[in-house]
Structure 1
C-alpha cells in the first residue's frame, strides 16, 4: 500500500533537497578538498531514498 502523501508535500521535500544540494555544491566549490566527495554521496542518498519510497520501504 502506498503512503498517503500529497503531491505538493512531495514536491516541497524534493525542492528542499535540491536547495540543500545546491548549497552543498557551492560550499564544495569553496572548500572542494573537504566537501567534494560528499556532493556525489548526497546525490546517491537522494536516489536511494526515492527508490526506497518507490518500493514502499520508507
Structure 2
C-alpha cells in the first residue's frame, strides 16, 4: 500500500492558488500605479544626473 503522501485536500490547494493569484494581481496593480506616478519624472531625473555630471567636470561640486 502507498503511504499517506499528503494531507492537503484539493480545496485547500485551490485556496492557496487563489490567494497567490490575488497577490499577483495586487502586485501588478501597485506596479502600474507606481510607474504611472513616476513615469513623468524619468526625463527630469535624467536631466538632473546629466547636470550633476557636468557640474562635477566643471568643478562646481
TM-score by length of 1: 0.50
Question: Rg bigger for which structure?
Answer: 2
**Relative contact order higher in (CA < 8 Å, ≥ 6 apart):** 1
TM-score by length of 2: 0.47
Greater fraction helix: 1
